[in-house]
Chain A
Amino acid sequence: MTNVTSEIRSGTYFDSVVLMQLQKGILELDGVLDAGVMMGTQANKDVLKHSGLLPHSSETTVAEDLIISVKAESTSQASAALKHVDVLLNSRKSLTEDQEFRPRSLDMAVRTLPNTQWVIVSVPGRYAAEVAREALGFGKHVFLYSDNVSVQDEISLKKLAADKGLLVMGPDCGTAVINGIGLGFANQSKSGPIGIVAASGTGLQALTVTIDNLGSGITYAIGTGGRDLNNQIGGITSRQALDLLSRDTDTKVIILTSKPISSDAGLELMQLMYALEKPVVVNFLGYAPPAHRIGNVFFASTLRQTAELAMELCDKFDRSTILKADSKKEFASSQRYIRGLFSGGTLAYETLLVLRAFTKGIYSNIPIDASYKLDNSASSDEHTIIDMGEDEFTVGRLHPMIDSDLRLRRFQQEAADPETAVILLDVVLGYGSHPNPAAELAPIISEAKSLARRSGRYLEVVVLVVGTESDPQDVVAQTKILRQSGAHIETNADKAAIYVGNIIFRLNPSSKASLRPVILDKTRQSLAAINVGLESFYESLVRQGAEAIHVDWQPPAQGKENLMNLLAKMKG
């Protein structure tokens, strides 16, 4: 036996849909078999009657009366359900918090929040390039967290971005700080005078944290992605970032953490850094720096040291201490190379190390990179540095520190080469060495210089003199003689190498055209970004007070390859 209990509420109105939902709620209650909640129109009463839910008392109801009728296993359950009606009606008003609309496409996100400057992409690598390309098409900078993006895609994305004056940070870019807002994985750090360019994610995070802990702060932290300095990519993002930081008035010191500079792109970056007005602290991850300082570029070997040095330079950098190559010397256009003729192996090797920061590929009989091993040590090729103390030169001879004959003949050979611009020699004094090497060298240097002059060239001769005033040869006297011959004198290998390196830079200018400047508008109150991919990146943007919108991204065409291909053909 079932029980129908009813209630009629006069003069109430609810939309039928609200009532249908209410009815659904009642049906879920204990023991309820059926329920009808309807306004008392004739048509509705017919429906209720059909279901056996029409109360006897409802014959006189009108359209403004609400009929609530419950059929349950017992009368008490029916009554309980009726009492629950108001609970259900009121609960409607306090449903879970409204979910803001989440666009599925980037297009929609851009239309929804048009003032965004950045798109953060963390979708699977297979789709990431396409999303990034679309973002660039909308004129947005891209933070590309995704990995497994091909080198070809990276190149095309970065070229496209560079043409538009936009940045592509990444792929595989873990972190960045823009206008005080951390993107991806980032620490909450103070703002301050230091701008950072970095390939690595954790390195950048560690730097920002160290700087913050030491009481300073950053303007920007820009990630480039680990492959940016590959020759194929050409350091596009790194160059853009350096340029951007050099123009940013709040940035006093720039930090670059990078893989060792060994590619063309890396060297071009070094050239770019030397040309800047601001000090740059470079941290070659895990590798010995080529020098402590080259002009405005300072080298540090740990992250902490990098941070400390940068902070120190904020206050103490003096531009007048920068040594630059003398541009008045008139080299001929054929003259492009350095030739180093060393009697000491360590001095030769240190020179090679330092010159890595200025040029790639110096041929040698003791090269750093085996592919630059000279086939024949008797003959130079492009940039060449020879250690003449090696066995191949000393078989049946005295060491060149004692007998300079072979080195002097090699000197004349190099001086006669129209491609030679600089000859670098070491002169190591002291007991056991040649008693007066300057007297032998000086006439040959002046002769070579005047020969060059007569052929329309300028020959630079740099002599690295290692000795003390108490040495039998007297370093002061030796230096004086050599200087009179027209040689430039240095007393440390690194300084000599930097001096030579600056000349090399001047004679081998970069063929790269300068990139269109990237403008990051800081006048905006805050960063606004579109997040495509990992939702946690969106949440952290919001928590930092950035304006953000999350795209509920799905693989295009549900990942169906054939349809994706067709769609690609149906663009535009």
Chain B
Amino acid sequence: MAKINIDQANTTAVERMMSARPILTSIATARDVVPNMEDNLLLHAGPPVEWEQMSGPMQGAVIGGLIFEGLVQNETDAVSMVEAGEIEFAPCHEHSSVGPMAGITTASMKVYQVKNTTHGNVAYSNLNEGYGKVLRYGAFSEDVITKLRWMNDVLAAVLSEALANSENGIDIRQLLSEALHMGDEGHNRNKAGSILYTAKLAPMIAKLAIDSDVASEVLQFLADNALSVLNPVMAACKSMADAAHGVEGSTVMTTMARNGTELGIRISGLGDKWFTGPVGQPDGLYFPGFTAEDASGDIGDSTITETVGIGGFAMASAPAIVAFVSGTPQDAVNATMEMYEITVSEHNHFTIPVLNFRGTPVGVDIRKVVELGITPRINTGIAHRDAGVGQVGAGLVRPPMNVFEDALVFYAEHYGLV
């Protein structure tokens, strides 16, 4: 076997990641657009997981998803149906998709379609439900389902029409670049991005409004939710990561996701193989009335942001949320600096003003992770361990080291280095 130039392969992978240009073009029904989507298939966050191993929020979201699909009426029926083996589960990641927290995506759900116009691949994500009792944290009560239906019928229709009437869709990479200069890091903090997103949609929504009450309701929903843009951002990040996947010989991480039980990564040069380990407990700050005791294991596909060089990696650009990393703006800078240690490059498009507009650290090289003993930093929301309670805090978590070590060993075997 010819000697592989790993550095070269990694440069290629990261170049692809950075040159990907994700455009939010439309909203469609998952069944119609998501590759290999089936009516009895539920997509979930993180690496593959079976029902028995699913965490509380994940199981709750599965139940809610089945009720939403109209396949069952209640929790008991849902559990029976799953236990009867009538439902298939698969990671969102294996269907060009990503979803925050539980990430449950069903066939009838509307999804954002984000097209990488540089390389032509498309990625998908469901719509963000806002705060409180929501499906992605495992809630499945009637009001949760009602809200989902409103989103699917009303919100999605308005957004879809607005996007259809926009000239070129919404350039999410450009939006992120701007949001990073406004104090966002793109994962835990998407305040500026959500405002930018709403501002881009508002004129089109107003222009196309037949019912001004509906338009107002939709705009209010977008404006109230500082995470409105998170899902399109995640789909955009997914389209970048997928563009970097499959480069022969590359040791760049192209997937990092959690299902509440396990965290899994995938490597550009190692095909579809997952390397998994137990999720960590986030170290963070909690909402009133909650403590670390209440926290679920780390969950969600939102680590797609860190995978492409934002989120925890761009912490220096979000000094307002530095308390998550323990205190001062200097700590936020240090958090980003640390990630330069394990990455291949500095981002061409995502820059950090406080670091003299240096590009964010991008493209985690598993060799560096293992050598230096530094795992990627993840900024994350913290879910309650019980289904349906919702978010209880936010903080910092790291993946288990073994997933990188395992991937390294597998790489060496795969490429005949041992």
Binding site for B on A (CB under 8 A): 15, 17-18, 20-21, 23-24, 34-38, 43, 46-48, 50-51, 53, 69, 95, 98-105, 107-108, 111-112, 554, 556-558, 560, 562-563, 566-567, 569-572
CA distance A23 to B285 in the complex (A): 9
Provide the residues of chain A in CB contact with B296, threshold 8 Å.
Answer: none
A565 CB to nearest B CB, Å = 9
Instruction: Among B7, B288, B323, point to the contact of A35 (Cβ < 8 A).
Output: B288
B327 touches A105 (CB 8 A): no
If A51-B289, A53-B289, A554-B373 touch, does A15 touch B321 (CB 8 Å cutoff)?
yes
If A99-B334, A101-B338 touch, does A570 touch B6 (CB 8 Å cutoff)?
yes
B418 touches A566 (CB 8 A): yes
B330 touches A98 (CB 8 A): yes
B333 touches A20 (CB 8 A): no
B411 touches A570 (CB 8 A): yes
Instruction: Among A24, A36, A101, A556, point to the contact of B337 (Cβ < 8 A).
Output: A101
CA distance A532 to B411 in the complex (A): 30
CA distance A556 to B409 in the complex (A): 15
A53 touches B285 (CB 8 A): no
Instruction: Among A34, A43, A104, point to the contact of B372 (Cβ < 8 A).
Output: A104
Residue of B nearest to A52 (CB): B289
Residue of A nearest to B183 (CB): A15
A98 touches B328 (CB 8 A): yes
Given contacts A17-B321, A572-B6, 14 further A-B contacts (CB under 8 A): A17-B394, A21-B285, A35-B288, A43-B131, A43-B224, A69-B288, A104-B338, A104-B374, A108-B341, A566-B412, A567-B371, A569-B417, A570-B6, A572-B5
Provide the residues of chain B in CB contact with A111, threshold 8 Å.
Answer: 340
CA distance A104 to B341 in the complex (A): 7
CA distance A557 to B402 in the complex (A): 11
If A20-B393, A556-B371 touch, does A570 touch B251 (CB 8 Å cutoff)?
yes
Residue of B nearest to A100 (CB): B330
CA distance A332 to B374 in the complex (A): 68
Provide the residues of chain A in CB contact with B411, threshold 8 Å.
Answer: 570
A53 touches B371 (CB 8 A): no
Instruction: Among B372, B412, B417, point to the contact of A556 (Cβ < 8 A).
Output: B372
Provide the residues of chain B in CB contact with A105, threshold 8 Å.
Answer: 341, 368, 371-372
A530 CB to nearest B CB, Å = 14
B100 CB to nearest A CB, Å = 17
If A34-B289, A101-B337, A569-B412 touch, does A554 touch B372 (CB 8 Å cutoff)?
yes
Provide the residues of chain A in CB contact with B329, threshold 8 Å.
Answer: 98
CA distance A21 to B340 in the complex (A): 28
Provide the residues of chain A in CB contact with B401, threshold 8 Å.
Answer: 558
* 7 closest cross-chain pairs (CB), A and B: A51-B289, A98-B330, A36-B288, A20-B285, A101-B337, A17-B323, A21-B323
A103 touches B327 (CB 8 A): no
User: What are 19 pairs between A and B in contact, CB < 8 Å?
Assistant: A17-B321, A35-B288, A46-B132, A50-B289, A69-B288, A98-B331, A99-B330, A100-B330, A100-B334, A101-B338, A103-B341, A104-B338, A105-B341, A554-B373, A557-B370, A569-B412, A569-B417, A572-B5, A572-B6
Per-residue CB proximity of B1-17 to A under 8 Å, as 1/0?
Answer: 00001110000000000
Residue of B nearest to A554 (CB): B373
CA distance A92 to B321 in the complex (A): 13
B367 CB within 8 Å of chain A: yes
Most interface-central of A53, A101, A556 (chain B CB within 10 A): A101
B408 touches A563 (CB 8 A): yes
From 1 to 35 in chain B, residues with beta carbon under 8 angstroms from any chain A beta carbon are: 5-7
Provide the residues of chain A in CB contact with B338, threshold 8 Å.
Answer: 101, 104
CA distance A21 to B326 in the complex (A): 9
A431 CB to nearest B CB, Å = 82
B405 touches A563 (CB 8 A): yes
A13 CB to nearest B CB, Å = 11
Provide the residues of chain A in CB contact with B7, threshold 8 Å.
Answer: 572
B375 CB to nearest A CB, Å = 11
If A48-B288, A563-B405, A566-B408 touch, does A15 touch B6 (CB 8 Å cutoff)?
no
Provide the residues of chain B in CB contact with A53, threshold 8 Å.
Answer: 288-289
Residue of A nearest to B132 (CB): A43
Residue of A nearest to B284 (CB): A20
CA distance A36 to B286 in the complex (A): 10
B324 CB within 8 Å of chain A: yes
B71 CB within 8 Å of chain A: no
Provide the residues of chain A in CB contact with B327, threshold 8 Å.
Answer: 95
Provide the residues of chain A in CB contact with B321, threshold 8 Å.
Answer: 15, 17
Instruction: Among A15, A35, A570, point to the contact of B412 (Cβ < 8 A).
Output: A570
Provide the residues of chain B in CB contact with A562, threshold 8 Å.
Answer: 409
Residue of B nearest to A41 (CB): B224
B39 CB to nearest A CB, Å = 34
A17 touches B288 (CB 8 A): no
CA distance A48 to B132 in the complex (A): 12
Per-residue CB proximity of B386-402 to A under 8 Å, as 1/0?
Answer: 00000001100000010
Instruction: Among A24, A36, A37, point to the contact of B289 (Cβ < 8 A).
Output: A36
Residue of B nearest to A43 (CB): B131
B333 touches A101 (CB 8 A): yes
B147 CB to nearest A CB, Å = 14
Most interface-central of A37, A112, A557 (chain B CB within 10 A): A557
A566 touches B393 (CB 8 A): no
CA distance A95 to B6 in the complex (A): 44
A567 CB to nearest B CB, Å = 5
A108 touches B417 (CB 8 A): no
A4 CB to nearest B CB, Å = 12
